[in-house]
Amino acid sequence: MAALQQKGRFIVLEKVKKFISALKAEVVRIVWPTKKVLAANTGTSLAVIFIVAAIMFGFDSGASALVQFVLRFF
């Protein structure tokens, strides 16, 4: 029984080592963005977020006003 547990741990340890080795190989292949590209992408993302937030605020305000208008009659 003890030998089986040791063998199981050995197999798991080998799989972990293989995974970390593959992970290191993949990290080396990553092409990281430059600061200029990163700043441009961040600016674009923030602009889109604010535009969508403004549109949602408009819809929410309009829906709220419509509900309040309808509830005045009841």
* Segment 15-42, tens digit of pLDDT: 899 999 999 999 999 999 999 999 999 9
Element (H, E) at 30: none
- Say whether both 41 and 52 belong to one domain: yes
pLDDT value, residue 5: 56
What residue type is 11 in one-letter code? I
Parent domain of 4: 1-30
Contact 23, 30 (CB under 8 A): no
Could you say which DSSP state residue 74 is in?
Answer: -
Q: Same structural domain for residues 23 and 38?
A: no
Q: Tokens 């600016």 map to which residue? A: 43
Asked whether residue 26 falls in the same domain as residue 10, the answer is yes
> Residue 8 — very low, low, confident or very high, per pLDDT cuts 50/70/90?
low
